[in-house]
Amino acid sequence: MIDGVKVIKLNTYEDDRGYLVEIIRKAQGETDPHAVAHQFGQVYMVGDPVRGIIRAFHKHNELWDWFFIAHGSAKFVLKDDRKDSPTYGEMMTIIGSARNPRLIVVPPGVYHGWMSLEDDTILISIASHTYNRENPDEVRIPPDSFGDVWTVKGR
């Protein structure tokens, strides 16, 4: 696991009316698994109409990202690019889906991207800062920068 990255199982409440999933909330103490001691900037939604769409790679210098799959599924690939991190250079893959609701927390300095695994995948992202078009906090690199990480391999 890359230092600072969290994969948080989300609370789901279900009854005869349907279900409710808690995506993010203010931390209820230091041991709260949802503890995110960062400011809130904006929430946005990304829709991929067909599976196989790749949105990668980028990292931020200051911004934290929280990702939640609201519909469908996606493969996330992350690489730690923080030279002072104990996990510098490490990569990890996370499969996220609406069927297993989790929040993926990505700290600054970690390259990240995702590929939709199903048609009509919808991702909700919460960012610690608002997007600044004149001075965006992002470093972008091509999706093949870390080799063939997107192919779904038979098992």
- 143 burial type by CB count under 10 A (0-12 exposed, 13-18 middle, 19+ buried): middle
Percent of the chain with pLDDT over 70: 92
Reported confidence tier of residue 88, pLDDT bands at 50, 70, 90: very high
Distance CA 81, CA 65 (A): 15
**Domain 40-140 top-level CATH class:** mainly beta
Residue 24's pLDDT is 82
For the chain, domain boundaries: 40-140
* pLDDT (tens digit per residue) in 14-49: 999 999 998 887 766 666 655 565 577 899 999 999
Distance CA 67, CA 38 (A): 15
Residue 153's pLDDT is 86
Global pTM value: 0.91
Mean pLDDT of 119-127: 96
* SS3 call for 96: strand
Residue 52's pLDDT is 97
